[in-house]
Structure 1
Amino acid sequence: MKVAVLDYDLDSGEDEPGLDYLSEAAANIDIELELIPLPEARAHRLVQNGELDGEAFPYDIPGRDSNNMIKIDVPIERSSLWIWVPSEQNCVSDPQQLKNFKPVGLNGIPYFNMFYNISEMGHEKVSTPQQMVEMLRRGRADYFPASKRSVEFLLDDVEKLQIKPCFDSPYVTIKSYFYLSDKHRAIAELFQQELAEVVSQYPDDDDDD
């Protein structure tokens, strides 16, 4: 079974336990997964057209089109997004006020759209996490959303000193799932049962602390 692997979080290259969960669940029902890293747009189109068998790690966010795809309703990853601002800047007093501040995000990662859509001040897009920090430092944006795990994994010590998280808890926690092509509807329920059993054997991988 050929499965597209996406990375919607910032921590590209970090070990993804969700892949182990999927492979183990598939092996339990005698299916071998061939994991194919692909850009989001291409992967999504190929699975919708039935040219690939599944898509791993798309986040469940507003506006996602899942025609001809079956959501396996077992989260394989959780990502808690904190609001990061320049270290010398005062934090926003109320999360509801984020509409009055400009976010910066990364090209190609759809969950940033949630923050672009709430902003009444526009937004910026860049190509690397390091450039997001630079945009804050230069005052060209007010904040970016990211998990603490991503910040720890991707930024160096100097960059980490230039930013700080706001609020006492993450702004939002989003979950990612596995989607099967509709041509595999016959095994979807069994796959979901196996995946739920596998995931239950491992500790939660959330990083909201």
Structure 2
Amino acid sequence: MGFFIDTDVDPDSRARLSGDYCHLRQYQIERLENDGLTGLCFRPPLRQTCTHMEKGLPMQITFTPIGTAHPNTDNIPRHWTVSDVEGSLVIDPQYTEALADIAVGQRIMVLFHFHKSPPFSPNLLKQTPPHRQRPFGVFSICSPRRPNPIGLSVLEVLSRDANVLGVRGMDMIEGTPILDIKPFVDKDSNLPSREDAD
């Protein structure tokens, strides 16, 4: 399933959200289609009609998947640091040129959406990971059950064929929506912002 947050609200939704719904902080959730990708549309109350939106609460943010992950197995490790699973990242063809300088052997950071994660609730602020003996604050662990269900994995690039990257180290399930890809920087000489960087 894909994932995006739509900032465009149709007239019917505008009317529905303007009255008694104004005080609600919960998102209105709808299933949509976006260029063939099934998505979730999270529609927060409108800023101009809802007082709480004028008090500095979070703004609306839009993400559209750039592709999907496809591991070669259903037996997915709990984290990329303990994974040798290989698979592919199939990127939307419109972004093929954006992959041009990704090289075989390189490591990349992949940001993705935990699209199968259950809704977050206050009782999940502290969780006990399966390999640990005590609860930890959710921002100290890699649990998929998070306020914003976003994951990050560092993967080794095995191949690049047009818009498809072959990778190793996957900890994503089949069809996981990919939000972004960034270079993995492990030393100063690799910093893309350096003036003498390649």
TM-score for the superposition, normalised by structure 2: 0.23
- Which is greater in Rg? 2
